[in-house]
Every structure is written in C-alpha cells, then in structure tokens.
Amino acid sequence: VQLLGCDALVWSGHKSFGPTGTGALWMRAELLERLEPSMIGGGAIDALGPDGFVVAQEPAWRRFEVGTPNIAGLIGLGAAAHYLNEQLPRHRDGLAQLTKQAHHGLAALPGVRLLSRPNRVGIVSFCLDAWSPHAAAMALDEDFGVMLRSGHHCALPLMRHLGEAKGCLRASFHVYSDEEDLDLLLAGVRALCEQQ
C-alpha cells in the first residue's frame, strides 16, 4: 500500500480462493480517524457512559471491529493466502502472458471494444458492439463452455463514466488458466462477432 500510495485498499477473500464474507480493508490512519463506525457493539466500545456507549478511540481501527470475528472464515482466508503465496510466483509470468495474448487477440476482432489495458494481469474487460454483456456471456457459456462475468462488476459509476450503461464482459485468468482457455475465449468471441 505504501508503494501504491493509495488512501484505502480493499481485498476480497472469495476472489483469492478464500471463504465468502472474508477480506481486508486498509486505510491511511488520518482517513480512518475521521470515519465514524456505522454500528457499535462488543469490542468496539470502551465503556457505558451517561449518554450511552463510549466508542473506542485508540487504536482507531478498533471502532470498526464489532462483535465476534468470523474466526473460521479468517482461518480459511489464511490458508488461501498461504496457497497463493506458494502458487503465484510460479504462475505470475504465465498469467501476464495469457492476459497480453487475450488483450491483443480480442483487440484484433471487429466489434470488440477493450476497456482494460494489457498490463492488468489476470483481467481483460471488454464490450461487444452487437451484444449486450449478459446475452454475450450466456452465449459464450452455452455454446463454447467459456464462463465470463457480465454486468457492472460493482463499478456502476465507472461504467457510466465510460459510457457503458449495460456494463461489460470480464475474462479472468488465474493459476489454473492455460492456453486452451485462451483459445476457447478467442474462438467464442470471434464467433459472436461474426454473427453481427
């Protein structure tokens, strides 16, 4: 986070082979200190004062740790992080290459608009001129066995800014992806483009 220079960083556990409902949030201390918790409860309070609960102030993150943590989920997230720490170094170059090949292969097809850059390892976001994202995802799944995410991807403001009100398609590559997956993706999208 120091190298990125970001104000906040969110990590979703289920996108890293971890259990759903797990993840992490990091914020700059000065931002965290200004935020008020949306709920209070055990662990986030220091005492009961005459006007109600006295919310914990130090350390600032404690105000947001309400109730019993998802202990089993966090153990699972730790196991997933351990697995990825072992696997990613072995697969990083291959993932980068697959992403670049997917980006360049899709860019060569008429009717494809790329929204991501080739240096975004593991992710390629794009739209098809003649297909809604949902219809294209369904066709690629049913006819080619290619599963993509479709829609706004929890980024509706960005989609509106990009002029993609219906959203986009997102192909994701990970440690289990290979050239065959890429070939299926490109063949499927090529076939959809030819149906325009």
pTM of the model: 0.75
φ and ψ at residue 162, rounded to 5 degrees: -80, -5
| CA 114 vs CA 7, 43, 169: distances in Å | 28, 46, 10
In the chain, which residues have pLDDT < 70? Answer: 53-58, 196
Q: Rounded to the nearest 5°, which phi and psi values hold at 159?
A: -60, -40
For 39-80, how does the pLDDT look when each residue is reduced to its tens digit (9 = 90+)?
A: 777 777 777 777 776 666 667 777 777 788 899 999 999 999
The pLDDT assigned to 32 comes to 86
Nearest in space to 123 (alpha carbons), one of 194, 185, 76? 185
User: Hey, which residues does 10 pair with through a beta bridge?
Assistant: 25
Give CA 136 to chain center in angstroms: 20
Catalytic residue numbers read 154
